[in-house]
Amino acid sequence: MKTVNLSILRTVGVFAVGGLLVGFIPLSTPGPKNVMNPGDSIQSQPGKLTGYVEILFTEPGNPCIQSQERYLHPGTEVLLQNSDRQPIATGTLGEGTPQPLQAGFSKMTCKFPLVVENIPELHDYIIKLEGGEEFSYSHKQFEQKNWQVELTLFR
């Protein structure tokens, strides 16, 4: 059997039909990170979503303390669901940090870091916070954002 350089498979696909070796060029060429073992399915490839959930309060005060009393707090569960609303991965929020809404404004926001790991590759996703808020994303949107999200809640 002849050895084939795997870097060629990034631009040309090769398979055998009835003993005849057939090649094709796909419309898009995935990089080496997309190479899978033959026994793996596309759904078993883990991913990682990072970013933050920002909460803005209209009343004065420390938004992180206000949030921890009523809405979000460190350890709040973040559920990632498929388009059928079945859970596929979970994560939690980290410690929130107060930040000014914009320079020169007295309003503050609280930003909670977000990490969800071991995400299977699907077409559509729903991010659901423990409080019931939902955010829909497609796989393409996650890729365009480099698997980083910025979610904002207004209270």
Alpha-carbon distance 73 to 92, whole Å?
9
pLDDT per residue as tens digits for the range 133-146: 999 999 999 999 99
Q: If residue 20 lies in a helix (H) or strand (E), which one and from where to where?
A: strand 20-24
Alpha-carbon distance 21 to 15, whole Å?
6
pLDDT per residue as tens digits for the range 52-105: 999 887 777 788 888 877 788 899 999 999 999 999 999 999 999 988 776 666
Give the tokens for residue 27. Answer: 């419309």
**Contact predicate 48/116, CB 8 Å:** yes
Predicted pLDDT at 103: 63
Over the range 142-154, which residues count as b (16 or more CB within 10 Å of their CB) and which as e?
A: beeeebebebebe
**Contact predicate 153/55, CB 8 Å:** yes
- Model confidence at 1, pLDDT cuts 50, 70, 90, reads very low
Least confident among 22-31, 32-41, 80-89: 32-41
132: closest CA among 74, 82, 78?
Answer: 78
- Model confidence at 24, pLDDT cuts 50, 70, 90, reads very low
**Contact predicate 32/9, CB 8 Å:** no
- Is it the case that residue 113 has pLDDT exceeding 90? yes
Q: If residue 149 lies in a helix (H) or strand (E), which one and from where to where?
A: strand 148-154
Q: For residue 78, how many other CB atoms are within 10 A of its CB?
A: 21
